[in-house]
Amino acid sequence: MIAGNESCTAGPIPMSYLTCLTYILGEWTGVEHIEDYLSYAVYLLWVLLPLAIVFILPGGLIILFYTSILLLHIYKRKNELKEAYSNNFWDGGKQMLATLWDAHGRIWHGYELHGTENIPEGPGLIVFYHGATPADCIYFMARLLIQKKRPCHAVADHFVFRLPGFKILLDAHGVMHGPKEECVSALKKGCLLAIAPGGVREALFSDEMYTIIWGNRKGFAQVAIDAKVPIIPMFTQNVREGVRTLGGIKILRSLYERIRLPIVPLYGGFPVKLRTFIGEPIPYEPNITAEELTAKTKAALQALIEKHQKIPGNIFRALMERFQTQKKDD
């Protein structure tokens, strides 16, 4: 066996394998002093590697989504004969995915859920601040299902329903695209429903200042009034530090407003500490208007942000909190 420091060619001037490879490459390409170009390429690789990693890491969530879809297809295939005889066909599948996502939240983010006692026994509309991804909401739904055996439906943007392969995932979890009538109907049936009024715009263009971007949206408030249910504010600490966006680039904001597709690049995927806090419910009032209820909800959500989030958000601080053993008080 030839050792790593032995020559790769026989002759009066022995060469190492790397030198030999460089020589052969130079002869083949006809480029003089190719070793200088290779050294520069290696330098660029080391410089750009961290940048590449922070843009690649968010892809892990995409892999997790499609793993969930694959598991649901397997679950459906194995249980298709029971479908005609069961009103709760997807219960087992939802428990399976809840275990998967909860494990991911625990391992990667040390995920914690606080304030579940504020969730009413009956129906309610959970209103949350939208991070760059909805991962924190999924962790919340998974933990709630595991701990309280309480399913929570969600309202998603229209583009989610056009993502390839997502139909089975959305159907299994009862995700809806948000017509008021459908939301009111679900709440009147006793469901718990989660919605982020800021939607994709807040996800892409809010920042480490945790600015609530709702615009003039008040449809969620009218849904709560029509269904006669309380609104429960929810916020996840450090959600902006886990994954961030390049939403500060003006041309990307203009492009989104024109085509309404989430084409803003994401970066991060850092294992920061995530803690979800459930605020006190805002009870139903028969004489309140949608505008007034929207203002009250926004104020309650802003209060949660101010209480539990250090502004501006800091990735390094959030990473350090991930490895602290002392739990934060509610």
How far apart (Å, rounded) are the C-alpha atoms in residues 278 and 273?
Answer: 17
Question: What is residue 76's predicted lDDT score, i.e. its pLDDT?
Answer: 83
**83 found inside a domain:** no
Number of domains in the chain: 2
* Predicted local distance difference test score (pLDDT) of residue 278: 98
CA–CA gap between residue 287 and residue 219 (Å, rounded): 17
User: The CATH number of the domain where 150 resides is what?
Assistant: 3.40.1130
Examine residue 315 and state whether it is found in any structural domain, yes or no: yes
For the chain, 330 residues long, give each residue's pLDDT as a single digit of tens: 444 444 454 555 455 655 676 667 666 666 666 666 666 666 566 555 565 665 677 778 888 988 999 988 888 887 765 554 455 778 888 999 999 999 999 999 999 999 999 999 999 999 999 999 999 999 999 999 999 999 999 999 988 988 899 999 998 888 998 789 999 999 999 999 999 999 999 999 999 999 999 999 999 999 999 999 999 999 999 999 999 999 988 898 899 888 888 889 999 999 999 999 999 999 999 999 999 999 999 999 999 999 999 999 999 999 999 887 655 544
Co-location of 104 and 243 in the same domain: yes
Identify whether residues 215 and 282 lie together within a single domain: yes
Asked if 236 and 125 sit in the same domain, the reply is yes
**38 and 98 share one domain:** no
Q: How far apart are CA 142 and CA 136, in angstroms?
A: 10
Q: Enumerate the active-site residues.
A: 130
Q: In which residue are the tokens 């420091």 written?
A: 5
Residues 264 and 294 both lie in one domain: yes
Does 298 map to a domain? yes
Backbone angles phi, psi at 85, to 5 degrees: -115, 10
User: Residue 82 domain-assigned?
Assistant: no
The answer to whether 196 touches 176, Cβ cutoff 8 Å, is no
In a domain, 6, yes or no: no
Number of helices (H), then strands (E), in the chain = 13, 8
120 lies in the same domain as 169: yes
Residue 176 structural domain: 56-71+90-321
101 and 229: one domain?
A: yes
Predicted pLDDT at 82: 57
Nearest to 90 by CA among 101, 71, 76: 76
In a domain, 262, yes or no: yes
Do 22 and 66 sit in the same domain of this protein? Answer: no
Q: Does any domain span residue 85?
A: no
Residues 46 and 64 in one domain: no
Do 147 and 294 share a domain, yes or no?
yes
Is the sign of the CA dihedral 64, 150, 270, 203 positive or negative?
positive
Same domain, 61 and 189: yes
Examine residue 223 and state whether it is found in any structural domain, yes or no.
yes
25 and 121 belong to one structural domain: no
DSSP 5-62: TS-SS-SSS---HHHHHHHHHHHHHT-TTHHHHHHHHHHHHHHHHHHHHHHHTTHHHH
